[in-house]
Structure 1
Amino acid sequence: MVVSPMQKGDTALRPPSIIRFEQFYLGATAITVVLQMLNFAGLVGPDRTAALGTAGMLIVLAMSYGMTFLFWYLIARRASNITKWVLVVITVLGVIGTVPLLIAQGQSNLGYSLIVSLVFVLQLIAIAYLFRRDAAEWLKSRGQHGIVDLTAFN
């Protein structure tokens, strides 16, 4: 019987770089969730209520986190190299679009800007792990690199 890392789901069968990607990516996501919970009133403030409202903002956040966890799952658990590149493009565009806003807002809300910057750094570190040799080979092979033959132990 041959068990692939995707069937087993055991972290020991995935490369260390993929596990590190997962830790940094989910860590950045957790910080973002806490930050948005603390700043939810600012997200649906009076100037934004007319456009989306609280329910609309909750839907947008749910879709955003749904995509975040879908990317995590497809990369870290299903070994999708295509999803890796989609995540790279989205992250780079996010950094490019957000840096000017952080610089402008940094003068008025330095703490918020520093935390958002920390999240981007964690995301970039997570993505860097996807380009390490063990992760790149694992993603190219769609998680089949290093298949374990468990019949040898019978």
Structure 2
Amino acid sequence: MQRPSSIVRYEQLYLGSFILGLVASALSWQGRAAQLGANPALGNLQWIMPAALVVGIVISVTLWYFTARNPSIAAKWVVTVFAALSLLGVARNLYALASGTVPLFATLLAVLVSLLYVAAAVMLFKPDAKLWFGEEPTNGDIA
């Protein structure tokens, strides 16, 4: 089956969110490393940041593959749950931004990453995406 337009759009939004997320991580890396190093209990755990980044990349690429290239309903729902959780992060970031306790650019970038991710997840519920995932269309889904 040829990939439907909503899956192509999903892939564009998802990969855009992924790449901008990597940029955001790179921009905040030194600050997070300094926070980790400043905590005496966590000072010896500098390896955890690159390990977490690698795990995150593996999860993201796996979810991309099983949604955009080899459809899996389970992956679709994992992306959906992550998108819902990212909305909580948007609310937290906007609250922190309003209080003036966080850097403007990094926070706005994090919000953009989350909104792109949510927009991508919405594409997974379009009628042509339901066919991609092998879900039975209902009468309302047939255009």
Higher relative contact order (CA 8 A, sep 6+): 1
CA contact (8 A) 1:71 1:83 kept: yes
Cα distance in structure 1, aligned partners of 2:94 and 2:46 = 24
Q: CA deviation at 1:115?
A: 1.0
Tell me the number of residue pairs that the alignment of Structure 1 and Structure 2 aligns: 129
Q: What secondary structure does 1:53 align onto?
A: coil
Code of the aligned partner of 2:72? S
Summarize deviations over 1:83-132 as a string: whole Å, max 9, x none.
Answer: 10111112212322452244124513222111111111111111111111
User: Equivalent residues in 2 for 1:39-54 (5 A)?
Assistant: 39-45=28-34, 47-49=35-37, 50-51=41-42, 53-54=45-46
Indicate the residue corresponding to 1:36 in structure 2: 25
Indicate the residue corresponding to 1:94 in structure 2: 86
Code of the aligned partner of 2:54? A
> Cα RMSD over matched residues?
1.8
Cα distance in structure 1, aligned partners of 2:57 and 2:46 = 16
Q: Does 1:129 align with 2:123?
A: yes
TM-score normalised over the length of structure 1:
0.76
Cα distance in structure 2, aligned partners of 1:128 and 1:56 = 32
Cα distance in structure 1, aligned partners of 2:8 and 2:33 = 35
Indicate the residue corresponding to 2:96 in structure 1: 104
User: Equivalent residues in 2 for 1:10-89 (5 A)?
Assistant: 13-45=2-34, 47-49=35-37, 50-51=41-42, 53-89=45-81
Indicate the residue corresponding to 2:133 in structure 1: 139
Cα distance in structure 2, aligned partners of 1:101 and 1:121 = 12
Point out where structure 2 has 5 or more consecutive residues left out of the alignment.
Answer: 136-143
Structure 1 residues 77-86 or 108-117, which shifts more? 108-117
CA contact (8 A) 1:44 1:53 kept: no
Point out where structure 1 has 5 or more consecutive residues left out of the alignment.
Answer: 6-12, 142-154
Q: Give me the identity figure in percent.
A: 31
- Structure 1 residues 129 and 68: alpha-carbon distance in aligned structure 2, compared to 1, 3 A threshold: same
TM-score normalised over the length of structure 2:
0.81
CA contact (8 A) 2:7 2:129 kept: yes
